[in-house]
């Protein structure tokens, strides 16, 4: 029996719109897609019934039906996609965080110090924290009986072995390692001092810079100190040198940095600045390497000169504005409520 | 050291138009640092930080000399006046009194001058003197004692007076104390001496002076005193320092003596004292001047090349300016050739100026450090090899921190108590000879005890789980002089063992370490519980341990949870790290995934090892769970060269199962 294609097409269309009206989800729609447009779907079945001798009009009509179905299903899909299933989705729901880890403030500071000096070509080193008398004192031009060798202020393991109170032993160690200048290093390590109060911890950290080459003079020391101060504390800060004394440098300097709070004026709103001494803060010591120290490191002071500095990591860290740690010893607490803040 | 001087006393020696504030600010840049100025009544008090090697500036006179040089260089016309070294020393002879000092050793004093005075009238000092002393933090006592203190402030040279009639004989002995001797000093404190202190004995076996620190009460000058013995000595600085620190008596005199004042200043100060005694108490000199000076100073000369001066400082300073700076500081300059000068060191800088670099400091600071430009040096360095230890430490820290671990810095010094609690042996640790307290006495041999203590300390304060880590050196004694300082990583957590082990495994993969396995540890460090601890093996070396802590130790420390602890030796670890990545081609053929349950009593590690060993096409073995000795795994098969058939996979599965029959 010949099929009434016109009628059938009308039926399919009706059935489709009935089905579509019941659709609630994209899955439902997919079922409808298969029912009408699938391999065994209604449209394909109609194609299969086409007589061999095709009536081109019928073929065309079925093609139109196919397009119609596609269009209807797509427009229905578009409507469906626009409706979100959860109308009360709360974008402010608290996120589920992984546990909060932290790096220690001293690690943060050491990373920063290392990277600033690395920009200037200083190589990071690590030299002994437990050291012989020679590298720690004698070789650094600190004679026996000098207060720096007092057992009041330095921890001793035996008569000849100390826990370093400064990182300057790295100077001689580096000279011996490199042998022929140029030398450009920064030695970062643990140091120990036999005292403990609000501004001292028995253990602390220092970074020791050393630069030795031909024709190195005081202006180069100022250049490097100034670069570090600006990179670490900010471009608006200035440094100044004041006379000082260390056994292993000559001349020796105390380096000050302008106060970040009063900007070097020493006065805030007509009152003396509480953070600094008349506009300046002490950063640390430095100086031109003493010729005896160069000799002791196997370097000829007639050919080479250099400068060195040894500063406290905790000190520069505490001086960084905004941190507001009341007590240096807080850095050595193990309280997670403190540690997790950084 | 810190000293206090007044503006009035400073201006006794300094003629300058600058205000006290300006003076303080300017001098601080080039000389001693003025920490504070206080205006009190009609005067100003300066708190001045004296640089250790500049004891010559620890007085009004010394500050004035430095200030005049600095201010003139800054273009402010100033003059140094009333130079004590210009004072004429009188020669007293044919006087009735005679006394003597015997020095038992020649290393006690390098100069010692003395004189006796008679007809002393003890009363109060003039108001002016009393005010000066009070402003400088010293208590006015009487006109005689105050003279010695005033002279210390003005000239930086301490002196001492005895009541001559209270001394047993006129033959005094300067000697070292013997251990166990004692002296009651003027502050009424009885000092038990440790031996080796410099003391003066009065001929009757009594110690009358704790030299350089404080006088004894025996020969104290009081209101009845008529005859005085005045001494202006310079003592051995190291001995004074030792005595002063041991007895915790940091008198101004001791602080000056331990830095060795000028030997040539003794006589001028003695002369000044005689003058003041005569003015204020009508006293007369009653003896000739005693002067012990076994090795008079000889001139010290330093040759200076002026071109070298400029190259060391880094700027051109005209020769004449260099010379005038040195002259203003008291150096005598002789020209030698075109560019060389010979500098004679003034007596008050005798111990401090030794080499030409010392002169660079003098020239540069007075010229003005603030005038020197900042220059970055250009240094031709070879590229430095990567330091794999630093890089690895940094990777470990960053990884753990990103996994929610909190970094802690513990002291390298720990207590015997903590060592024994963790069943380590104090005798194997390095011990301080002079610890500050029992808490900080031994150098750590492991970071683990500190981290266990950290867990205990956080209990009840923060919510568990706790996850902490520390990277630091441990200090291992050796037969050599120095210990080995070995970088270690320790991380601990109160989360369960598989999670922490997973973090460790992921960390090791992150570090790109050679293939590693975990084996039950046969001999773990003491604090680990055997049977609950694995060694981490890679490259045939034990890289570290992961395990649980002995319950007895947890109990002793007071830990209520059951933490898992990972300990890694970073130095061994870096030797097993593959520095470069190696590319593995990705298979084009699909994987086959199969579930497999194996019944075995072997440890899971061994089971997985055995499964892996059966075929090269086993790509991945994921452990699912265990139940009653049955362990489930998900096994991924894949071949880089072809599609796998079910037959091939089944054949391998059967081989695996027969392994465990």
pLDDT in tens, A157-214: 998 999 999 999 999 999 999 999 999 999 999 999 988 666 678 999 999 999 999 9
Q: Where in chain B is the domain with CATH 3.50.40.10?
A: 100-292
How many interface pairs between A and B have CB atoms less than 8 angstroms apart?
216
Residues 236 through 255 of chain A touching chain B, CB cutoff 8 Å: 240-245, 250-254
**Domain span at A128:** 105-339
**Inter-chain contact B413–A226, Cβ cutoff 8 Å?**
no
Contact A119/B at CB under 8 A: no
Could you give the 3-state DSSP secondary structure of residue B284? strand
Q: Where in chain B is the domain with CATH 3.30.56.10?
A: 2-82, 301-370
Residue A171 lies in a domain: yes
Alpha carbons A125 and B390: distance in angstroms, whole number: 9
Contacts of A195 in chain B (CB under 8 A): 436
Residue A50 lies in a domain: yes
Residue A138 lies in a domain: yes
Among 3.40.50.1100, 1.10.357.10, 3.30.56.10, 2.70.70.10, what is the CATH number of B301-370? 3.30.56.10
Residues A38 and A111 in one domain: no
Q: Which of B14, B83, B10 is nearest to B48 (CA)?
A: B10
Fold of B2-82: Phenylalanyl-tRNA Synthetase; Chain B, domain 1 (3.30.56)
DSSP A184-230: EEEEEEEEE-S--BTTB-SEEEEEEEEEEETT--HHHHHHHHHHHHH
Residues A138 and A231 in one domain: yes
Residues A223 and A109 in one domain: yes
Contacts of A240 in chain B (CB under 8 A): 29, 369-370
State the burial class of residue A76 (Cβ atoms within 10 Å of its Cβ: 0-12, 13-18, 19+): buried
pLDDT of residue A144: 85
Contact A334/B at CB under 8 A: yes
In this structure, CATH architecture of domain B592-659: 2-Layer Sandwich (3.30)
Question: Domain count of chain A?
Answer: 2
Query: Taking chain B (661 residues) in consecutive chunks of 10 residues, what is each chunk's mean pLDDT?
Result: 96 97 94 92 94 95 97 96 88 84 95 95 95 95 96 97 92 94 94 95 92 94 95 96 92 95 96 96 93 94 96 95 96 92 97 96 97 94 87 97 97 96 96 92 97 97 95 96 97 96 97 94 95 95 97 96 97 93 87 92 91 92 92 93 91 91 78
Residues A205 and A61 in one domain: no
pLDDT of residue A270: 84
The number of beta carbons lying within 10 Å of the beta carbon of residue B448 is 26
Cα B21 off chain centre by: 33
Residues A184 and A53 in one domain: no
Q: Which residues are paired to A131 by β-bridges? A: A162
**Inter-chain contact B361–A244, Cβ cutoff 8 Å?**
no
Residues A258 and A148 in one domain: yes
* Chain B CA closest to residue A249: B357
Q: Considering all CA atoms of chain B, what is the largest pairwise distance in Å, rounded to the nearest integer?
A: 129
Residues A300 and A206 in one domain: yes
Q: What is the 3-state secondary structure (H, E, C) of B72-118?
A: HHCCCCCEECCCHHHCCCCCCCCCCECCEEEECCCCCEEEEEEEEEE
Q: Torsions phi, psi of B40, nearest 5?
A: -130, 125
For the four alpha carbons of B204, B207, B208 and B212, in that order, the dihedral sign comes to positive
Contacts of A241 in chain B (CB under 8 A): 369-370, 372
Residues A137 and A191 in one domain: yes
| List of chain A residues with pLDDT < 50 | 1
Residue A95 lies in a domain: no
Fold of B388-575: BirA Bifunctional Protein; domain 2 (3.30.930)
Alpha carbons A335 and B408: distance in angstroms, whole number: 9
Terminal CA-CA length for chain A? 85
Is-contact B182 B191, C-beta < 8 A? yes
Question: What burial letters (b/e) apply to B372-406, b meaning 16+ CB within 10 Å?
Answer: bebbebebeeeeeeeeeebebbbebbebbbebbbb
Task: Name the domain boundary from A49, A82, A115.
Answer: A82
pLDDT of residue A199: 67
pLDDT of residue B62: 97
In this structure, CATH architecture of domain B100-292: 3-Layer(bba) Sandwich (3.50)
**Inter-chain contact B431–A157, Cβ cutoff 8 Å?**
yes
DSSP state, A97? P
Q: Where in chain B is the domain with CATH 3.30.70.380?
A: 592-659
Contacts of A330 in chain B (CB under 8 A): none
Residues A160 and A256 in one domain: yes
Task: Name the domain boundary from A82, A97, A132.
Answer: A82
Q: Where in chain B is the domain with CATH 3.30.930.10?
A: 388-575
Q: pTM above the 0.90 mark?
A: no
């Amino acid at each position: 029996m010949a099929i009434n294609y016109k009628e059938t097409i009308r039926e399919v269309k009706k059935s489709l719109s009935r089905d579509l009206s019941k659709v609630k989800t994209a899955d439902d729609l997919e079922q409808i897609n298969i029912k009408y447009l699938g391999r065994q779907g209604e449209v394909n079945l109609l194609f299969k019934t086409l007589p061999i001798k095709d009536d081109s009009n019928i073929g065309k009509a079925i093609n139109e039906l196919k397009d119609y179905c596609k269009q209807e299903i797509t427009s229905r899909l578009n409507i469906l996609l626009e409706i979100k299933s959860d109308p009360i989705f709360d974008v402010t729901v608290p996120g589920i965080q992984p546990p909060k880890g932290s790096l220690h403030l001293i690690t943060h500071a050491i990373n920063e110090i290392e990277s600033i000096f690395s920009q200037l070509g200083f190589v990071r080193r690590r030299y002994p924290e437990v050291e012989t008398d020679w590298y720690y004192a004698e070789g650094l031009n600190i004679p026996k009986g000098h207060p720096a060798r007092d057992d009041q202020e330095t921890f001793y393991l035996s008569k000849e072995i100390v826990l370093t109170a400064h990182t300057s032993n790295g100077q001689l160690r580096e000279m011996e390692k490199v042998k022929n200048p140029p030398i450009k290093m920064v030695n970062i390590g643990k140091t120990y001092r036999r005292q403990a109060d609000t501004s001292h911890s028995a253990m602390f950290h220092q970074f020791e810079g050393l630069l030795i080459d031909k024709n190195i003079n005081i202006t180069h020391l100022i250049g490097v100190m100034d670069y570090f101060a600006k990179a670490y504390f900010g471009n608006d800060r200035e440094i100044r040198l004041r006379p000082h004394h260390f056994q292993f440098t000559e001349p020796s300097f105390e380096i000050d940095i302008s106060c970040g709070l009063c900007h070097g004026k020493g006065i805030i709103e007509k009152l003396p600045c509480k953070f600094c001494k008349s506009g300046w803060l002490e950063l640390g010591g430095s100086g031109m390497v003493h010729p005896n120290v160069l000799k002791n490191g196997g370097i000829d002071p007639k050919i080479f000169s250099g400068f060195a500095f040894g500063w406290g990591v905790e000190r520069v860290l505490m001086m960084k504005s905004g941190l507001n740690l009341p007590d240096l010893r807080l850095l050595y607490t193990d309280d997670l409520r403190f540690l997790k803040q950084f | 050291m810190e000293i206090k001087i007044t503006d009035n006393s400073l201006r006794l020696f300094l003629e300058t138009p600058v205000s006290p504030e300006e003076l303080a600010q300017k001098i601080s840049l080039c000389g001693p640092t003025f920490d504070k100025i206080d205006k009190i009544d009609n005067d100003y008090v300066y708190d001045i930080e004296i640089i250790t090697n500049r004891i010559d500036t620890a007085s009004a006179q010394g500050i004035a000399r430095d200030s005049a040089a600095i201010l003139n260089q800054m273009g402010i016309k100033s003059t140094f006046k009333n130079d004590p070294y210009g004072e004429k020393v009188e020669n007293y002879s044919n006087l009735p009194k005679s006394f003597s000092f015997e020095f038992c050793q020649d290393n006690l004093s390098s100069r010692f001058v003395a004189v006796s005075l008679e007809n002393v009238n003890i009363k109060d000092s003039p108001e002016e003197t009393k005010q000066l002393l009070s402003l400088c933090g010293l208590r006015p006592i009487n006109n005689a004692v105050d003279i010695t203190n005033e002279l210390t402030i003005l000239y930086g040279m301490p002196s001492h007076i005895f009541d001559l009639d209270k001394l047993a004989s006129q033959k005094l002995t300067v000697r070292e104390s013997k251990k166990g001797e004692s002296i009651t000093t003027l502050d009424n404190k009885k000092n038990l001496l440790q031996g080796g202190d410099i003391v003066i004995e009065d001929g009757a076996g009594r110690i009358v002076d704790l030299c350089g620190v404080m006088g004894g009460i025996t020969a104290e000058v009081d209101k009845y005193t008529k005859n005085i013995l005045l001494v202006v000595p310079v003592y051995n600085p190291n001995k004074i320092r030792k005595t002063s620190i041991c007895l915790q008596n940091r008198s101004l005199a001791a602080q000056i003596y331990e830095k060795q004042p000028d030997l040539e200043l003794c006589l001028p100060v003695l002369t000044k004292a005689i003058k003041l005694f005569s003015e204020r108490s009508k006293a007369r000199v009653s003896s000739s001047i005693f002067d012990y000076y076994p090795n008079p100073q000889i001139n010290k000369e330093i040759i200076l090349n002026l071109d070298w001066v400029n190259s060391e400082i880094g700027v051109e300073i005209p020769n004449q300016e260099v010379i005038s700076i040195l002259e203003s500081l008291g150096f005598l300059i002789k020209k030698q050739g075109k560019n060389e000068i010979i500098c004679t060191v003034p007596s008050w800088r005798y111990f401090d100026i030794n080499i030409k670099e010392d002169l660079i400091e003098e020239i540069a600071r007075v010229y003005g450090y603030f005038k020197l430009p900042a220059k970055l040096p250009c240094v031709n360095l070879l590229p430095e090899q990567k330091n794999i230890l630093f890089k690895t430490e940094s990777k470990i820290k960053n990884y753990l921190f990103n996994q929610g671990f909190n970094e802690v810095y513990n002291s390298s010094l720990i207590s015997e108590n903590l060592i024994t609690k963790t069943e380590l042996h104090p005798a194997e640790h390095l011990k301080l000879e002079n610890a500050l307290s029992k808490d900080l006495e031994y150098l750590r041999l492991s970071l683990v005890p500190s981290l266990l203590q950290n867990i205990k300390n956080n209990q009840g304060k923060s919510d568990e789980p706790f996850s902490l880590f520390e990277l630091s050196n441990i200090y291992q004694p050796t037969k050599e002089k120095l210990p080995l300082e070995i970088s270690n990583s320790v991380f601990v957590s109160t989360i369960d063992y598989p999670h922490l082990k997973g973090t460790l495994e992921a960390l090791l993969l992150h570090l790109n370490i050679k293939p590693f396995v975990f084996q039950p540890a046969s001999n773990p460090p003491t604090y680990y519980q055997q049977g609950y601890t694995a060694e981490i093996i890679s490259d045939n070396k034990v890289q570290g341990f992961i395990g649980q802590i002995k319950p007895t130790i947890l109990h002793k420390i007071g830990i209520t949870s059951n933490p898992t602890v990972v300990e890694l030796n970073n130095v061994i670890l870096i030797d097993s790290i593959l520095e470069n990545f190696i590319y593995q081609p990705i298979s084009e053929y699909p994987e086959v995934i199969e579930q497999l349950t194996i019944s075995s009593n072997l440890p899971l590690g061994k089971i997985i090892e055995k499964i892996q060993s059966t075929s090269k096409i086993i790509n991945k073995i994921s452990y699912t769970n265990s139940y009653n000795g049955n362990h489930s795994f998900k096994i991924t098969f894949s071949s880089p060269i072809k599609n796998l058939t079910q037959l091939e996979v089944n054949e391998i599965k059967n081989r695996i199962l027969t392994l465990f029959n």
